[in-house]
A and B are shown apart, each in its own frame.
Chain A
Amino acid sequence: MKTYEVLRIYGFENVCGELKVSTHPFSFLGDVVVENAEVKGVGSIARSVLVVPALVGSTVGPYVLYALSRRGLAPKALVTKSVDPTLVAGCVLAGVSLYKFVSSAADFNELKTLEGLNACIEGNILKIG
């Protein structure tokens, strides 16, 4: 089992789901298909523990996260290197737990190789496998 340090920004202390990883920042508006929660290059992010360097672009993103949540397709947790007000507000409205990735950049790059495994966040530790 691999472990990484995260910092809880909002939401539950304990969350589990399938690990999904985007190596590039993306925007909720335009890059996520609301009907099926698909993200190009990542696949469905529904009910996942989604790791992404940052969410960028439109300030309309929170509505997309909210719409995913209303359809039961929102990620269970988001883990990002960069936290901003737009993202936090979206997570609060959608009820998605949000964590900041604290471990090293090398650790972050390693996560893509673990995609598809079960990921659990317990306190400030992300456990994979």
Chain B
Amino acid sequence: MYLTREEEAILNGELGYPYALAMKVITTVGDSLGAERLIPVVHAHVSGISYFNIGDAGLEFIESLATSNARFQVFTTANPYAVIIDSSYGSLPEDVRSKQLKIINYLRGMGARAFTCAPYYVRRPSYGEHLAWAESNAVLFANSLIGAWSNREGGPLALLEGLLGKTYAAGVHLREGRSPKCVTSIKTEGSVSFFHLSLIGLKIGELCPDSIPFVEGLEGVSEEGIRAFLASFGSTSNAPMVVFNKLTPDSQELLENSDIEERFSISLGDLREVLLDFKEARESGGILYFIGCPHLSPGEFAHLLGRLRSVGKRDSSMGELWLGVSDTVSLDEEITNYLGRIGVRVVKGMCPVTTKLSLVGIKYVVTDSGKALHYMPKLAGVKVVIKDREEILREFLRG
């Protein structure tokens, strides 16, 4: 890979250990993927923030950078951290909380602006912008809906790219890297709920585990609906992008220049078997209702608050409802207190999916997210049932 004189100097340690490490890792990745040069990015987004995911090894890695005066050179956001609030279920062990707080503080010290898995609501990229993002749903959103350009970076790689403000010119940073390889036609009747879009996303991810799909049949779906699809798709596929017919910028041009290798057709009926698999036996107690994976958009959050404000009374001992949003969302004390009385908690900057919820006695999570369905049994140690958002609200409010 060609490096400028300045980049060579950084590689040789002129700016110190963190930047030399960043240059070494980024150029090695770039070389292995055939990149010829580095390119500037305007926004980095780091994943791997929950202590439960990265453990002591991850904490020590971040600590080693932060204590060596590493600072992000471009606008940088980070994924949400483990849920460290006190809830009616109990609290996480003190050593977990303190290690999680260390991770947060190190990243803030390095210049992280927000903690959320939806960085596009903190700073929405522009068409054609180069990014270094690591959260799969965010990468898929940026490439597929905005037409920004980001590879699906590993968590530590995006962190190192934020330190340099650069990435390698390969993958979807090049036009030829954005070509779809499989076509998937979806047959639906009438409107499709987020819940169904989540299931379709999981299925298409299984069909196209390492190639960009061209998806037909979702032309009328809202941006938030496509977001639900993408979050699920990213759980079962490695692809950094989905080309949606008429929704993705330049979709026709990308299809015309592609070399399609596989074709699939699926209908909602094909998912019936999957739905039956998800019908978990409901255990007594330890139920959590969770909406906000990925973090809610401002519109979704306002809509849910509107619904919940008219509730009146509810027995909060019958399980809580957690709403996941960015830590940049502000909420006045009066609403927070009211929500608390009916068992609703707004978990700002946090992620229940990457929190070992079994440690606080939660056994069973009801959610509308295919991504949560995919990861929570493994990461949170709970059983998960996926339902339509309206159905979740009805069940929660019934208590």
Contact = CB atoms under 8 A, between A and B. Distances in A.
A23 to B, nearest CB: 13
A63 B32 contact: no
B173 to A, nearest CB: 10
Contacts of B156: 62-63, 66, 89-90, 93
- Overall SS of chain B's interface: helix
Interface stretch (B214-222, B234-242, B259-267): B234-242
A54 B238 contact: yes
A118 interface: no
A86 interface: yes
B1 to A, nearest CB: 13
B375 interface: yes
Contact of A61 (B33, B55, B154, B375): B154
Contacts of A10: 28, 32
B53 interface: yes
Interface in B359-399: 374-375, 378-379
A15 interface: no
Interface string B122-155: 0000000000001110010000000000011111
B157 A83 contact: no
A80 to B, nearest CB: 9
A85 B33 contact: yes
B210 A56 contact: yes
A70 B29 CA distance: 21
B47 interface: yes
Which of A58, A66, A88 has the most chain B CB atoms inside 10 A of its CB? Answer: A58
9 contacts: A10-B32, A54-B210, A56-B237, A57-B236, A59-B135, A85-B153, A86-B152, A88-B32, A89-B25
Interface of A: 9-10, 25, 29-31, 34, 53-64, 66-67, 70-71, 82-90, 92-93, 98
